[in-house]
Structure 1
Amino acid sequence: GAPLCAVAVSAGDRGFRGGPRPRLAGEVRGRGKQGFVVNVWASWCAPCRRELPMFQNLATNYEPRGIGVWFVSVDDAPDKPTALQILKESGIAPPTFWAAGDLEPFKRALNPRWPGMIPATFLFDASGKLRYFWGGPVYEEEIVPIVEGFLAGEPIDGEADFTLSPGKVLR
C-alpha cells in the first residue's frame, strides 16, 4: 500500500489535534507503536457512530500491545462540536483528528483506491505503510484476526471493500 503521507488534518481547537497541514505519518512515527488503526468517521454517519464503542474497546486492548487506535472526523466545521460531543460520550480518548478542507488529498494519502465512503478503517505499520483497509462498517470479529496477525508478524496486506456492487441488468 501507499505510505501514509501528507494529510490535511487540522483544528487543534476544542479537542481535535493537528495544525493547518501536518503529516499524520509524523504522528505515527516516534510513538513506539508497531502500527495504527485509523478510523474515519463523521457525526452524521450512523454506522460510524455504532462502531465507536468497538473501536474504543480495541484501543483499550491494543494500545498496551503496540497498536494505536486513532479517530479522524470528516465532519464539516459547523458539525465539529457535535463530533466532539459524540467522542466524549463514547469515551474516546485523544488523539483524535479532524480532516479539514479538500478531502481528495486526504483520501489519496490514506488509500488511493478509497473512493471516500465512510466508515472506513485503515491499518498502518509503524513506517506509515498501509497494511489493510476496510471500506465500510467493520465488526470486531473481522478486524481482530487481522490485527492479531499483524502483531504476530504475519505479512498482512489486503482489503475488505464493502461497497455495493453495480448489480445485474435483467432483460
Structure 2
Amino acid sequence: MRQLFVVTFAILLTITFRGYSQQQIQVVNYDQLDKIVKSTKDSVVVVNFWATYCKPCLEELPYFSEAGKLNKNEPVKFIFVSMDFTSKKDKAAEVFNKYNLPGKCVLLNEDPNIWINKLNPQWGGDIPYTFLQDKKGNRTHYPKTFATSEELINLIKKELIKQ
C-alpha cells in the first residue's frame, strides 16, 4: 500500500511541475498581436508565423530554439504565431513545448485576408514567415524557410548590431 502511495504521489508531482513549465497559448486577433509586438520596445522582436500542419514550419522550429539559447542574454524576444484553427490550440501548445521554444506563442484567430496587407502587402500568406522588428519599430521581413540555424542567428545578430 505504501509503495502505491509513493508511486501515485510521484506521478502527481510530475504532472504538477510539468504544468508549470508548459506554455499556454492565447487566442488573439491581429490588432492584439500588433499591440504585443509593439509593446516590446527594449528588444529585437522575432515573430514567426507557423502551423502544426506545415512541414517546413516544423523543420525550422529547432533553429528558433537554438537561437533562443544563444541569445538568452541579449535583448531579443520571440513571438510565435500559430496559424492553426482554434480547435488545434492544444496541438499547437504541444508542439511549442516539444521544441522548447523561447518566448510566447499566440494563436491568430482572424481571417488572413483582413490582416496580411497590414503586416506586409508583398506577403502572399505562405508559411513559415518571419519578421524581425528592431527597437525603433522597423521591420525586416523574411518570407522563406530558414535553411539552417546559423541563417536565423546571423539575421538576429544583424538586427542587434543596428541598435
TM-score of the aligned structures, taking structure 2 as reference length: 0.74
Q: Higher helix proportion, which one?
A: 2
Instruction: Confirm or deny that 1:142 pairs with 2:144.
Output: no
2: CA distance between counterparts of 1:101 and 1:115?
Answer: 16
Match of 2:77 among 61, 68, 72: 68
Aligned to 1:166: none
Aligned to 1:129: 138
Structure 1 residues 107 and 57: alpha-carbon distance in aligned structure 2, compared to 1, 3 A threshold: same
Contact 2:46–2:79 (CA under 8 A) maintained in structure 1: yes
Structure 1 residues 117 and 146: alpha-carbon distance in aligned structure 2, compared to 1, 3 A threshold: same
| Structure 1 spans left out of the alignment, 5+ residues | 1-13, 155-171
2: CA distance between counterparts of 1:21 and 1:149?
Answer: 27
Aligned to 1:84: 93
Moved over 6 A (4+): none
Structure 1 residues 151 and 21: alpha-carbon distance in aligned structure 2, compared to 1, 3 A threshold: closer
Shift of 1:34: 2.7
For residues 44-80 of structure 1, the C-alpha deviation after alignment (integer angstroms, 9 at most, x for no partner) is: 0111111111102212222421111110000012222
Match of 1:43 among 32, 52, 58: 52
Q: Give identity over the alignment, percent.
A: 26
| Structure 2 spans left out of the alignment, 5+ residues | 1-22
Match of 1:33 among 21, 39, 42: 42
Structure 1 residues 78 and 58: alpha-carbon distance in aligned structure 2, compared to 1, 3 A threshold: same
Shift of 1:32: 5.2
State how many pairs are aligned.
Answer: 140
1:157-168 map, 5 Å: none
Contact 2:30–2:110 (CA under 8 A) maintained in structure 1: no
Shift of 1:26: 2.4
Contact 2:128–2:144 (CA under 8 A) maintained in structure 1: yes
TM-score of the aligned structures, taking structure 1 as reference length: 0.71
2: CA distance between counterparts of 1:20 and 1:29?
Answer: 14
Structure 1 residues 37 and 75: alpha-carbon distance in aligned structure 2, compared to 1, 3 A threshold: same
